[in-house]
C-alpha cells in the first residue's frame, strides 16, 4: 500500500495530539468494522475554534487524517469547520488508498460530534446545524 509523504508526515509527527481541559465541545466517534476510535476536543470563542486537539485509538490513516483535520479547522469559524469534508482532508493529504477512506470519514465525524456536543452544552438543538452524526460508522 502506498501512502503519500504528507500522510506519513502526519502519521509520524501528528499535530495537535492530546486533550483540552475544559473543552467547549468533545466528540467521540468510532468505526464498528475496524474498531478504531477518535476523540476530538474543541475550544470555541464566540464563533471561532481557537484550539483543537485529538486522540485516536486507531490506524495510521486515522492519525494522519485527524491531525490534518485539526490543522484545517484551528483558527477557523464554526461554519468553516462544519463544511470540512473527508474528501477535503484526503485532498490535503494528497490522497489515501481506497480501503482507508473510512478513516478520513471518522475525522470529519469527530469534528461534527464535537460541534454537536458544543451546541448541546449551549442549550441549542445541534441537529438542524450539524446534522445527524452517527457515533458508530458501519462502513
Ligand atoms: Fe479504521 Fe483506519 S482502519 S480508522
* Predicted structure pTM score: 0.95
* Ligand 1 and 16: CB distance under 6 A: no
* Interacting residues of 34 by C-beta distance below 8 A, sequence separation 6+: 58, 59, 102
Mean pLDDT of the chain: 95
From the CA of 106, how far away is ligand 1's center (Å)?
8
Task: Calculate how far, in angstroms, residue 109's C-alpha sits from the geometric centre of ligand 1.
Answer: 13
CA-based torsion, 91, 97, 98, 104: positive or negative: negative
Whether 137 shows a pLDDT value over 80: the answer reads no
Whether pLDDT at 87 is above 70: yes
The answer, yes or no, to whether residue 1 has pLDDT greater than 80, is no
Q: What is the pLDDT of residue 117?
A: 98
Give the pLDDT band of residue 113 (cuts 50, 70, 90). very high
Amino acid at each position: 500500500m502506498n501512502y503519500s509523504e504528507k500522510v506519513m508526515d502526519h502519521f509520524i509527527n501528528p499535530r495537535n495530539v492530546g486533550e483540552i481541559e475544559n473543552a467547549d465541545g468533545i466528540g467521540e466517534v468510532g468505526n464498528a468494522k475496524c474498531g478504531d476510535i477518535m476523540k476530538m476536543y474543541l475550544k470555541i470563542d464566540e464563533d471561532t475554534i481557537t484550539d483543537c486537539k485529538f486522540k485516536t485509538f486507531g490506524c495510521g490513516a486515522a492519525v494522519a487524517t485527524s491531525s490534518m483535520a485539526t490543522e484545517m479547522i484551528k483558527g477557523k469559524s464554526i461554519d468553516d469547520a462544519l463544511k470540512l469534508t473527508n474528501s477535503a482532508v484526503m485532498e490535503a493529504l494528497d490522497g489515501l488508498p481506497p480501503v482507508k477512506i473510512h478513516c478520513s470519514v471518522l475525522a470529519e465525524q469527530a469534528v461534527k460530534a464535537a460541534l454537536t456536543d458544543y451546541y448541546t452544552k449551549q442549550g441549542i438543538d445541534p441537529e438542524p446545524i450539524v446534522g445527524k452524526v452517527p457515533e458508530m460508522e458501519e462502513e
